[in-house]
Structure 1
Amino acid sequence: MSYFNVRVYGLLINAQNEVLISDEHEYGQFFSKFPGGGLELGEGLIDALKREFMEECNAEIEVTGHFYTTDFYEKSSFNDSQVISVYYLVKEVHPLQLSFKTKVFDFDEGIFQSFRWININNLSESDVTFKTDKAVVNLLKKSII
């Protein structure tokens, strides 16, 4: 049985032209991605993104615009579903109260998620794990030139 897995992500860019990246260890895998996650049944995209930012970053966000929706086939890295990812530009309502790291997978004890800022000029495909995020990195770099 095949099914669709709808995911929603936020591109949070600060005043220093840096984008927020989430480093995670889950399901036995290490990966880096933009903050966000899966849509729950009965939930809209923007409500899901706001929920994900509260769950992951304890942050209230405002969506400022659509950036990209997957336009190619991507199989999930975790199951047999086809992933469809929607990316929005977001801004924080209040300053983020997170402990930002400078190294990848620099987790605090017992917490398998950490956050880093990467300047968009220095951002590369190798900074993120998944195929759609890599496409978004390239689009993001093109949009600021």
Structure 2
Amino acid sequence: MIDKINIRVYAIYVNENQELMALDEGYAGKKLVKLPGGGLEFGEGTLECLHREFAEELNLKIEVLEHFYTQEEFLASMFRENEQLLTIYYTVNILNFDELKILDDSIENVKWISLQEEKPLPLPIDKIVFEKLKEKLL
């Protein structure tokens, strides 16, 4: 039975080469390729969450440009059977990329994904966002 909701906030950052920033990250014993961001904490707004996640995980400061997408369908967590996910995505600009430093032990690598790739992101809503991003930019 689902009795909890987990709100996730993610960033879309595309560099000048039309490549999307992603993270190789381990979570609950699985290796994932995912967008930067994470879970909303109590007492925090979505934009505050993104700023905090970038600072805590990557030592980066960002400028949030615009809301890009909010998940529209029900999605149960793949890691916790009693949890529903709600994911929100914003486009961002990174203000100090030269200061990038991975501070979170679960992040193995920062990588770049060409917008020409076919289905490079494994998480269900990330897949939708990637296709919408391709439609908008290509």
Common fold: TM-score over 0.5: yes
CA pair 8-82 structure 1, distance change in 2 beyond 3 A: same
Partner of 1:87: 89
Give the Å deviation of 1:38.
Answer: 0.2
| CA distance, structure 1, for counterparts of residue 76 and residue 37 of structure 2 | 18
CA contact (8 A) 1:9 1:88 kept: yes
| CA distance, structure 2, for counterparts of residue 92 and residue 144 of structure 1 | 18
3-state SS, counterpart of residue 43 of structure 2: coil
Partner of 1:9: 10
Partner of 2:51: 50
CA contact (8 A) 2:38 2:53 kept: yes
Partner of 2:22: 21
2:136 to 132, 138, 143: 143
1:115 to 101, 110, 115: 110
Which blocks of at least 5 consecutive residues in structure 2 are unaligned? none
Instruction: Provide the aligned C-alpha RMSD in A.
Output: 1.8
3-state SS, counterpart of residue 68 of structure 1: strand
Give the Å deviation of 1:99.
Answer: 7.2
CA contact (8 A) 1:59 1:92 kept: yes
3-state SS, counterpart of residue 52 of structure 1: helix
2:126 matches 1:133: yes
Which blocks of at least 5 consecutive residues in structure 1 are unaligned? 101-110
CA contact (8 A) 2:55 2:61 kept: yes
| CA distance, structure 2, for counterparts of residue 11 and residue 29 of structure 1 | 22
3-state SS, counterpart of residue 24 of structure 1: strand
Give the Å deviation of 1:4.
Answer: 1.2
Over the matched positions of the two proteins, sequence identity in percent amounts to: 35
Q: Give TM-score, length-normalised by structure 1.
A: 0.85
| CA distance, structure 2, for counterparts of residue 27 and residue 81 of structure 1 | 15
CA contact (8 A) 2:60 2:100 kept: no
Q: Give TM-score, length-normalised by structure 2.
A: 0.89
CA contact (8 A) 2:22 2:110 kept: yes
CA contact (8 A) 1:99 1:115 kept: no
| CA distance, structure 1, for counterparts of residue 134 and residue 46 of structure 2 | 24
* Letter of the 2:59 counterpart: N
Partner of 1:32: 33
